[in-house]
Homo-oligomer: A and B are copies of this chain.
Amino acid sequence: MRPRPFLPESLEKSAKETKDAYVRNRTDGLVWHRCTYRTLYADTDRSKVVYHANYLRYFEVGRTTLMRDAAYSYRQIEADGYIYPIIKVGIDYYSPLYYDDDMTIYTRPGELERVKLQFDYVITHGETGAIVCRGFTRHCATNSSGKPVGIDEKTLLLWKNFPK
């Protein structure tokens, strides 16, 4: 079953600074953070396409770039004593990426609970715009000893400040 297309449009024509980082998807009406990445030979397997596990790497690129762009880098969050281990992932694959393909990674903060949070992802093909996959990663909040804690203030601000 084909997914609905991802149709990005700039949030504001005048806002030059943010025009590359945030877009609205006309299909679902939601705002997404956008960054680009490129596949490596190392990412492919003998069927000539990117090995399915590597999309979780690309999701990490999206998530970490979003957090850095929002001024609360995950590096800083870990330095502050928090860890956000992944407790659940899901991916639907629609069309493969090949060697040296450009991709666009769309990421947005998803569901937020007291000690859990989710990021949602869409990857599209850099040239055709076709949807490559959709997925999510669900995280819990712990301190550096692995004990569950409430979500830290910086991460909450990321949710609060994400463009609507």
A89 and B90: CB pair below 8 A? yes
Which one of B78, B93, B99, B100 lies within 8 Å of A85 (CB-CB)? B93
Distance between Cα atoms of A51 and B102 in the complex (Å): 21
A74 partner residues in chain B, CB cutoff 8 A = 41, 100
- Name the interface size band of chain A: 35 or more
- Give the Cβ gap from A7 to chain B, nearest Cβ, in Å: 23
Most chain B CB within 10 A, of A40, A83, A137, is at: A40
A78 partner residues in chain B, CB cutoff 8 A = 99
Say yes or no for A53: interface residue by CB 8 A criterion.
yes
Say yes or no for A70: interface residue by CB 8 A criterion.
no
Instruction: Give chain A's interface secondary structure class.
Output: mixed
- Give the Cβ gap from A139 to chain B, nearest Cβ, in Å: 10
- Give the Cβ gap from A46 to chain B, nearest Cβ, in Å: 4
Say yes or no for A26: interface residue by CB 8 A criterion.
no
A57 and B42: CB pair below 8 A? yes
Say yes or no for A143: interface residue by CB 8 A criterion.
no
- Give the Cβ gap from A39 to chain B, nearest Cβ, in Å: 10
A42 partner residues in chain B, CB cutoff 8 A = 45, 51, 53, 56-57, 60
Can you report 14 A-B residue pairs in the complex whose CB atoms are below 8 A from each other? A40-B61, A41-B45, A41-B60, A42-B56, A42-B57, A45-B46, A52-B56, A52-B89, A52-B137, A53-B57, A73-B100, A85-B96, A87-B92, A89-B91
